[in-house]
Amino acid sequence: MSTFWIGLLATIVVGIGTYLMRAGFVVALAEREFPPVVKEALGFVAPGVMAALVVSLALGGSEPAGWIEIAALVVGGLVGWRTRSLPWVLVAGMATLWILRAVG
């Protein structure tokens, strides 16, 4: 069996396994009502993930963030502060990043 077919088979098996694990939780918890504290905590998942991505961009990596990335982070932060909406933060930050990269 060639390396290609082994890789393809591994990808398919892992994909099916991942799907079944995730679907299992959905099916098992579909009829249950989450406690209010869990619902409230789930509301912080997206901002927490976003914060982790921002910190890793600003502080980590092989090269530090440049002025374009910092400007996009500031615009995203200001939009988030004003709107309290993660989708608008993403749109504003990415638009700023793309425009500044195209211009500069």
Q: 34 vs 88, which has greater pLDDT?
A: 88
pLDDT at position 61, please?
67
pLDDT at 4: 93
Tens digit of pLDDT for each residue in 7-19? 999 999 999 999 9
The domain locations on the chain are 1-32, 35-104
- String of DSSP letters for 78-100: HHHHHH--HHHHHHHHHHHHHHH
pLDDT in tens, 63-104: 777 889 889 989 999 999 999 988 999 999 999 999 999 997
